[in-house]
Amino acid sequence: LWRRGGVTVLTFTQQRHGQTSRRPPALRCEEAPTLRPCLMQGEDTRLPGLPRYVRINTLKLGAKAADRALLESGYRRAADAADAGKRSYHCDEDVPDLLVFKPKGKSDISRLPLVATGEVVVQQKASCFPALALAPPPGAVVIDGCAAPGNKTSHLAMLMENRGRVLAFDMNERRCALLRERMALKGASIVSARHASFLSAAPADPEYAGVTHVLLDPSCSSSGMSLDPITEPAALAELASNQRALLLHAMAFPGVTAIVYSTCSVNEAENEMVVAAVLQAQADAPPERRFRLVPALPAWHRRGHRCAAISGAARREEVAACCVRTLYPDDGTIGFFVARFEREAAAPPPQPLPPLPPT
């Protein structure tokens, strides 16, 4: 039993083929979405040397007010990352309202008063991509199927200007209570935390008839953010199976027009392969039920992988061009993956795919 960041974690030993292992079995997103492998060990297994990122929560604070408050805390805004001052920060070039601080050990943003009041959110750059890729408009009804601890959930509410509804699912009662507390702190009043599994939500239930957007960031191997990710083939296969099931479940909601799927994994088996399998699984569905892959965040430079295991050259190119990846340490953030699906009957005509580097 140990604690980190106010979270109590129980670790278990597991007998496997006569040997004792401290690694837990793979967990489904609705079972433990916040317990990544880096939180299952006593040591700090996070990737070193990354900038610290703070997202301004515009539900409570504007950019100018944030600058003033940070100045009072001893930090000053710099023009760019070249500024050598330890107590300086600059605006991220890709994510609106995201501030970039020096790496851990050179800045201490967790002690900022703005963090305690929910006026800013400590959040890795790549973790901001899913909400930006989904981009639900104000007034939309959105499901966050794997919500805890809630950074992406509050980002959705912020992008929606606190107009509409966000139904945030978590199966664990304690995590769900924590999610409610964090949304209240951040002023995300449109978020309704549901103590339930997203997989238990019936698509035909009239309560969900108005849902138009779904965000899915399920449990994964954490291979993009941890020095000690899940690597066992059986565990990876279980994770991928659950990821496919969640996506297909989201596609069964009749009013949904857009779905964003993301992981903090660099494994093709959890990323491009999951996307390709889901596209194949619903390929024969009628157009009003079928989803297609569309370019996520087209301006982002790093696209998906051409996976040799995906059948068909056209499908390989489609998946690679439409999906987004981030690479540690090249992109200054954790390794991440994002894909966006749109219902064919509701989607505009296909646009040209972003260019890919030559093979």
Residues tagged active-site: 264
| Residues 359, 307 contacting (CB under 8 angstroms) | no
| Residues 347, 257 contacting (CB under 8 angstroms) | yes
Tell me the chain's radius of gyration from C-alpha atoms: 20
Query: Shortest CA distance to 198 belongs to which of 182, 179, 217?
Result: 217
**Residue at 229: amino acid letter:** P
Strand partners, 262: 338
User: What is the torsion angle, in degrees rounded to the nearest 10, for the CA atoms of residue 131, residue 284, residue 200 and residue 141?
Assistant: 40
Distance in angstroms (rounded) separating the CA atoms of residues 97 and 132: 12
Q: Is 222 exposed, middle or buried (0-12, 13-18, 19+ CB in 10 A)?
A: buried
Strand partners, 291: 343
Residues contacting residue 84 through CB under 8 Å, at least 6 positions apart? none
Distance in angstroms (rounded) separating the CA atoms of residues 154 and 336: 19
**Residue at 55: amino acid letter:** R
DSSP letter, residue 23:
P
Alpha helices in the chain (DSSP H): 63-72, 113-116, 129-134, 151-159, 173-185, 233-251, 272-281, 313-322
